[in-house]
Structure 1
Amino acid sequence: MDVSRARRLLLPLAAGVCAAALVGGCSAAGDAPSPERSTQAAAPLAANELEDDYRAVIKDVLPSVVQIDAASSLGSGVVYDDKGHIVTNAHVVGQEKTFEVTAATGGKPVTARLVSSYPEQDLAVLRMTTVPQGLKAAKFGDSAAVDMGQIVLAMGSPLGLSGSVTQGIVSATGRTVSEGRTGGGTGATIGNMVQTSAAINPGNSGGALVNLDSEVIGIPTLAAADPELGGGSVPGIGFAIPASMVRIVADQIIKDGRVTDSGRAALDITGRTVLSDDYEPAGVAVVEAPADGAAGKAGLKPGDVITRLDDTDITTITSLSEALASHRPGDKVTTTYVRGTETRKAEVTLGEL
């Protein structure tokens, strides 16, 4: 809830104004309602105003949300501009090129075609052949202003239930999450994700995570999975790609037809996870390190095993990807690696993925 709303809920009644709505009647001159009765009455008033806020946001944002039907999958999308562009997840579109899109508010489906997909960030842009009446471009918020405790709503088509809304809070920010490749996942490692307690179910992917100012602050992408539950999703732990990254990727795709500047750091190697004598992941072996790449320029060679990046232990390809996700191209990192029986360190200026 923004500051203006918080202040509005706390404003006292002006002097001389009848407080019938709060305490059931006006007091005689000089009489004041008891603090207990005032507190009890203020609670439902605040709840009613919050409920009104929810309804206003849903009414404002739902015309910017669509359901995306592909031959082998179903997901959600957000109307990006008034030219018919839609942003969604890359794992929603998969390998397909043509889709049926239906507004969350109803109406006949229209055809949309893939502009480009960027699996490395699990984002894609479609364009509708015609823009149905009533659809409107969403308003994207400032990712830097997203903070823990903010109330958020997730809008999309979970399990094919078009136009569904769930409610929660921002549980954390700055999460780095790696997707699996099962179930259509891209295997991407995505940094700076927004964690939310709002329910994220199959079909929510690509939809809208919005604040109470009707701003899209993220694109819901996946729910946490617990290996002990057979990989089943964990209720109340979902993740959304931040609005800032959505805009960076979508703007490039719309302008150039592809992502030309990923903003993602890379060591410029081909690697594989290696195991210790105890069959535990123990590092990333360099398979290829081009001489003109970041690692190659710093002296790393095929056969070296990377075990640490700055203060982060590296045991697998995934852990290396997650460590790099918090950096930008051009950052300098201390890379610890093993060559033969000798442990070495090198300062690497990171390249771009």
Structure 2
Amino acid sequence: MDVLRARDARRGRLRARSPALRRLLPVAVLAVVCGLLPGCSGDAAPGAAGRSTTARAAVPLQPGDLQGAYQKVVRNVLPSVVQIQAGDHLGSGVVYDDRGHVVTNAHVVGNEQKFRVTIANSEVELGATLVSSYPQQDLAVVKLDRVPDGLRAARFGDSGKVEVGQIVLAMGSPLGLSSSVTEGIVSATGRTVSEGNDDGGTGATIANMVQTSAAINPGNSGGALVGLDGLVIGIPTLAAVEPDLGGEAAPGIGFAIPSSTVTNIADQIVKNGRVTDSGRAALGITGRTVVGGDFQPDGVAVVEVKDGGAADQAGIRSGDVITRLGDTDITTLTSLSEALAVEQPGDRTTVAYRRNGNSKTVAVTLGEL
């Protein structure tokens, strides 16, 4: 599996393990998928209140149909894409239901509680209030203080059925240019990306991200990645930056949080006001990266063990240095987060660690973040 490491945010750059992608820039991008809004094609299944989802796969189009398909998706989906002003920063969001909930990135809302939201094709600013932010998955939900007439909720597709080569549209407010649309394809699926926690980043490690060639620029974060069926398949969040080009964005390499993750987190926030079931595996430790005699990262030192957590039950103690999880070598705290991101709570795996110079391996049943 390819694993990329990124530093989040509106201004931050992301570093990638791949030589070609040494840094990544989290930015808001909107994806448009046919069937996303009322009036789009596709059978919708009931979702959260006022919102609908679908599991129907995208339908291939003939070349002569492409322009009309693009225009139809834009007409249907763009009204569900908004611009969010959080303090002195701009980002994007997607209308989640007809009650005025809007889903976006946690790094877009930052530490703010109040926001100004502008709907597509309108210059009227609406007030909004934070419902909850979940930095661990870089997602947040805000709610409009007043629901305007005709507000359209987007429809979300099944990101598990997204295929490489599928045409997608990205909608958002790059560089403050609201209601902007770009196009590309799904370049890859199943990417695991880690944001940094500087420059406003959340430090999140996110699994199963959708890689796309659709242009993603600062201000696109929190928008929608949409297929030609009008269904949102992801929330664009990160874009690659090539340092050899003077920090310029690397064309055609961006990442979106999959819609399955978005709806899971947003549904919980809308219903409960917070995330109650992360679905994320955890060891139940606080750790820090340690370096070896060559001054290179050499493992994760356990600083604290949560009582009753996975590590505690496996006999791991404070002072141990974790060097491997399952088949993955662990050299840094980020690499441990990336390894855990692709696991599930309750999974059985092994942890290798050093204690007083001796190497040990134990079986572990993973807990929940």
Paired residue for 1:89, among 100, 105, 109? 105
Instruction: Tell me what 2:26 maps to.
Output: none
C-alpha distance in structure 2 between counterparts of 1:264 and 1:313, whole Å = 20
- Where is the helix percentage greater, Structure 1 or Structure 2? 1
Paired residue for 2:238, among 222, 226, 234? 222
Paired residue for 1:201, among 217, 221, 226? 217
Structure 2: where are the runs of 5+ without partners?
1-33, 35-56
The answer to whether the Cα contact below 8 Å between 1:104 and 1:156 also exists between their aligned partners in 2 is no
Which one-letter code corresponds to 2:226 in the other structure? V
Instruction: Tell me what 2:282 maps to.
Output: 266
Q: Deviations over 1:153-203 (max 9, x none)?
A: 000000000000011111111111001123211111111111101011000
Q: Secondary structure at the match of 2:199?
A: helix
Which one-letter code corresponds to 2:358 in the other structure? E
Bigger-Rg structure (1/2): 1
Q: Deviations over 1:130-161 (max 9, x none)?
A: 12233300010011111111000000000000
Q: CA deviation at 1:215?
A: 0.2
Paired residue for 1:180, among 189, 196, 218? 196
Pairs within 5 Å for 1:84-233: 84-228=100-244, 232-233=248-249
Which one-letter code corresponds to 2:134 in the other structure? Y
Q: Whose RCO is larger (CA < 8 A, sep 6+)?
A: 2
Which one-letter code corresponds to 2:311 in the other structure? A
1:315 is the counterpart of 2:363: no
TM-score with structure 1 length normalisation?
A: 0.86
Instruction: Tell me what 1:65 maps to.
Output: 81
C-alpha distance in structure 1 between counterparts of 2:307 and 2:343, whole Å = 22
Q: Which of structure 1's runs of 4+ aligned residues deviate more than 6 A?
A: none
Which one-letter code corresponds to 1:249 in the other structure? I
Instruction: Tell me what 1:21 maps to.
Output: none
Total equivalences in the alignment: 314
Which one-letter code corresponds to 1:138 in the other structure? A
Q: 1:308 to 1:232 in 2, by over 3 A?
A: farther
C-alpha distance in structure 2 between counterparts of 1:220 and 1:227, whole Å = 21
C-alpha distance in structure 1 between counterparts of 2:359 and 2:148, whole Å = 62
The answer to whether the Cα contact below 8 Å between 2:352 and 2:361 also exists between their aligned partners in 1 is yes
Instruction: Tell me what 1:251 maps to.
Output: 267
C-alpha distance in structure 2 between counterparts of 1:108 and 1:159, whole Å = 19
C-alpha distance in structure 2 between counterparts of 1:128 and 1:291, whole Å = 40
Q: CA deviation at 1:233?
A: 3.2
Structure 1: where are the runs of 5+ without partners?
10-45
C-alpha distance in structure 2 between counterparts of 1:90 and 1:50, whole Å = 34
Tell me the percent identity.
Answer: 66
Q: Secondary structure at the match of 2:160?
A: helix
